[in-house]
Amino acid sequence: MKFLFLLFIVIPIVEITILINVGEAIGAWNTVGLVILSAFIGVNMLRYQSLSTLARAQQRANQGEIPGQEMVEGIVLAVGGALLVTPGFVTDVIGFSCLIPFTRQSFAKALLSRFTVIASEQRHSASAHFYSQDPFSEQPRQSRDHSQNVSQGDVIEGEYERKD
Please tell me whether residue 24 adopts helix, strand or coil conformation: helix
Tens-digit pLDDT profile for residues 79-117: 999 998 888 999 999 999 999 989 998 988 888 887 766
In this structure, the chain runs to a length of 164
Range of lowest pLDDT (22-26, 40-44, 149-153): 149-153
- Of 131, 129, 136, 135, which is closest to residue 153 (Cα–Cα)? 131
pLDDT tier, 129 (very low <50, low <70, confident <90, very high otherwise): low
Whether the pTM exceeds 0.85: the reply is: no
Average pLDDT, rounded, for the chain: 79
Asked if 91 and 15 count as a contact pair (C-beta separation under 8 A), the reply is yes
Angle at 7 between CA 103 and CA 33, to 5 degrees: 70
Q: Report the pLDDT value the prediction gives residue 144, as an integer from 0 to 100.
A: 46
Share of the chain above pLDDT 90, in %: 30
**Cα(1)–Cα(134) distance, integer angstroms:** 14
Asked if residue 42 lies in contact with residue 49, where contact means CB atoms within 8 angstroms, the answer is no
Is the per-residue pLDDT at 18 higher than 70? yes
